[in-house]
């Protein structure tokens, strides 16, 4: 039996992961399931999957979790230390699907314990790519990308020589506002931004899709994960979300990964890698699909893309600063303190003003410097938000 943990089990990626595990229940022993604040859902999942431990992020929720799990034999735990302890338990395969920088530490601990880490939490790569890769290397662990674009690139690169890659094209749906007049964006509400044309995802990543901060994170993730030169990473708007990424080679060949927008493909690929197994995803009917379309990803509409290029050029801790500023700006937008277009202004301000502690000369970064850069950026974002708050 494979030992499996799912971090962020109660979210969109977590539930899709459990949907796959449920279909082959006897093949897996569940070590840990974790959730943020959704006690009822974690109780329900833990009652079904019977992990050794169920963990919530907030210690105040522990009594309710204990009550819900009474008589099941499932250990109830809560708080940061409990999350880290659960991540450090031996497991063969761990899904990293907490949203935000909060997913970084559990993922690092799972790697230290030697697990294969299925990485949906793109923020880990953006904030601490070199640290993630080095930790995996040092502990004989593997990281498999679960972001659909990166799973697509990973699959297109199987058997290929990285030196033969000319470019990587990451597609973007364009999110909720791709067809809105530019002048209307400043008035866009959180509810409008949280509606995705093609994908059903968590609220935060859906709003990040409308602002293209999600794509910005993914461009940085591409650089960090595959070691691709930023000048070779492109993005194009592809409203149908059927092609997830393309890899262009020096001989002119362009390999595209095509499939319906269903995260169970990328999750299932990572679950069974290096094998391919039958997955419950829709098979495409190309004739019914008819046409696929592409447009320029315009940086006037999506300044996050320009900021991502700056971050890729700067490297070091700028990814951690960028992500933390983005998270703070997103919170402020959801709380209606700033407008939609002000999120990019805040992030740009913070990038300009924050110079985190220098990294080691060899480019190595430690968890402490990453967390410190994250803190500095959140403080600077607080000021940038207060200056604009309505």
Binding site for ligand NAD (CB under 6 A): 8-14, 35-36, 38, 57, 97-99, 102-103, 120-123, 147, 199, 201-202, 204-205, 263
Assess 208 for contact with Mg ion (CB under 5 A): no
Shortest distance, position 95 Cβ to ligand NAD, whole Å: 9
Quote the tokens at residue 87.
Answer: 């991540």
Q: Which residue is nearest to ligand NAD (CB)?
A: 11
* Of 43 and 205, CB closest to Mg ion: 205
* Neighbour tally for 163: CB within 10 Å: 6
86 or 233: whose CB is closer to ligand NAD?
A: 86
In whole angstroms, the minimum distance from the beta carbon of 34 to ligand NAD comes to: 6
**CA atoms within 13 A of residue 160's CA, in its CB half-sphere:** 20
Q: Most distant CA pair in the chain: distance in Å?
A: 62
Q: Which residues of 46-55 are buried (b: 16+ CB within 10 A; e: fewer)?
A: beebbbbbbb
CB of 117 closer than 8 Å to CB of 96 = yes
Q: How far is the CB of 267 from Mg ion (least distance, A)?
A: 12
Residue 94 backbone phi and psi in degrees, to 5:
-125, 125
Phi first, then psi, for residue 159 (nearest 5°) are 80, 0
Q: What is the DSSP string of 161-178?
A: -GGGEEEEEEEE---TTT
The smaller minimum CB distance to Mg ion, of residues 268 and 316, is found at 268
How far apart are CB 180 and Mg ion at their closest, in Å?
A: 21
Question: Which partner in ligand NAD, Mg ion, none is near 102 (CB below 5 to 8 A by kind)?
Answer: ligand NAD
What is the number of other CB atoms lying within 10 angstroms of the CB of residue 364? 11
3-state secondary structure of 248: strand
Minimum CB distance to ligand NAD smaller for 109 or for 349: 109
Q: Which does 212 bind (CB under 5 to 8 A by kind): Mg ion, ligand NAD, none?
A: none
Closest to 248 measured CA to CA, from 260, 232, 231: 232
CB of 159 to ligand NAD, least distance (A): 25
For 164-241, list the strands marked E by DSSP.
165-172, 233-237
Closest CA to 94 of 143, 41, 36: 143
Residue closer to ligand NAD (CB basis): 98 or 152: 98
CA–CA dist 132, 105 (Å, integer): 10
Tally of CB atoms within 10 A around 254: 12
Q: Which residue shows structure tokens 């949280």?
A: 194
| Minimum distance of ligand NAD from residue 251's CB (angstroms) | 31
Q: How far is the CB of 119 from ligand NAD (least distance, A)?
A: 9
Nearer to ligand NAD, 259 or 349 (CB): 259
User: x-or-dash pattern for Mg ion, window 90-129, by CB under 5 A?
Assistant: ----------------------------------------
Beta bridge partners of 237: 172, 295
Minimum CB distance to ligand NAD, residue 37 (Å) = 6
- From the list ligand NAD, Mg ion, none, which binds 342 (C-beta under 5 to 8 Å, kind-based)? none
Select the binding partner of residue 349 from ligand NAD, Mg ion, none (C-beta < 5 to 8 A, by kind): none
The minimum distance between CB 149 and Mg ion, in angstroms, equals 5
Choose between 15 and 298: whose C-beta lies nearer to ligand NAD: 15
With CB under 5 to 8 Å by kind, the binding choice for 121 among ligand NAD, Mg ion, none is ligand NAD
Q: Which is nearer to Mg ion, 5 or 148 (CB)?
A: 148
Terminal Cα-to-Cα distance of the chain (whole angstroms)? 55
Nearer to ligand NAD, 243 or 349 (CB): 243
Cβ-based nearer residue to Mg ion, 149 or 327: 149
Q: Which residue has the tokens 């971050």?
A: 311
Q: Binders of Mg ion among 123-182, rule CB under 5 A?
A: 147-149
Report the partner that residue 257 touches, choosing among ligand NAD, Mg ion, none (CB closer than 5 to 8 A by kind): none
In the complex, what is the shortest distance from the CB of residue 55 to ligand NAD, in angstroms, rounded to a whole number? 8
Residue 344 and residue 352 in contact, taking contact as beta carbons nearer than 8 Å = no
Report the relative pairing of strands 116-119 and 93-96 from DSSP bridges.
Answer: parallel
Could you list the residues that contact Mg ion (CB under 5 A)? 147-149
């Amino acid at each position: 039996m494979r030992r499996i943990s799912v971090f962020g089990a109660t979210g969109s990626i977590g539930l899709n992961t459990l949907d796959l595990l449920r279909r082959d229940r006897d093949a897996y022993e569940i070590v840990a399931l974790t959730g943020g604040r959704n006690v009822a859902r974690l109780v329900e999942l833990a009652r079904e999957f019977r992990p050794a431990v169920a963990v919530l992020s907030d210690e105040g929720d522990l009594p309710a979790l204990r009550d819900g799990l009474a008589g099941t034999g499932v250990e109830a735990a809560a708080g940061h230390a409990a999350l880290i302890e659960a991540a450090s338990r031996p497991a063969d395969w761990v899904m990293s699907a907490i949203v935000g920088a909060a997913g970084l530490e559990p993922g690092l601990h799972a790697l230290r314990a030697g697990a294969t880490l299925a990485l949906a939490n793109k923020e880990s790569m953006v904030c601490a790519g070199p640290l993630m890769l080095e930790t995996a290397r040092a502990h004989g662990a593997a990281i498999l990308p679960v972001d659909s674009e990166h799973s697509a690139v990973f699959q297109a690169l199987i058997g290929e020589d990285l030196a033969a890659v000319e470019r990587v094209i990451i597609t973007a749906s364009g999110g909720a506002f791709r067809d809105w007049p530019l002048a209307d964006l400043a008035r866009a509400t959180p509810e409008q931004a949280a509606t995705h044309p093609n994908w059903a995802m968590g609220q935060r990543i859906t709003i990040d899709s409308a602002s293209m901060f999600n794509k910005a994170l993914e461009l940085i993730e591409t650089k960090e994960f595959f070691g691709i030169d930023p000048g070779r990473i492109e993005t194009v708007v592809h409203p149908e979300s059927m092609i997830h990424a393309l890899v262009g080679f020096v001989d002119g060949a362009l390999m595209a990964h095509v499939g319906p927008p269903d995260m169970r493909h990328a999750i299932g690929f990572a679950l069974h890698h290096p094998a391919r197994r039958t997955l419950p995803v829709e098979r495409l009917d190309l004739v019914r699909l008819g046409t696929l379309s592409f447009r320029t990803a315009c940086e006037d509409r999506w300044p996050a893309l320009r900021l991502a290029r700056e971050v890729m050029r700067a490297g070091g801790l700028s990814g951690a600063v960028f992500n933390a500023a983005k998270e703070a700006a997103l919170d402020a937008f959801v709380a209606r303190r700033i407008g939609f277009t002000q999120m990019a202004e805040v992030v740009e301000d913070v990038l300009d003003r924050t110079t985190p502690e220098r990294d080691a000369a060899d480019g190595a970064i430690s968890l402490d410097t990453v967390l410190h850069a994250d803190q500095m950026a959140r403080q600077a974002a607080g000021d940038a938000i207060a200056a604009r708050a309505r």
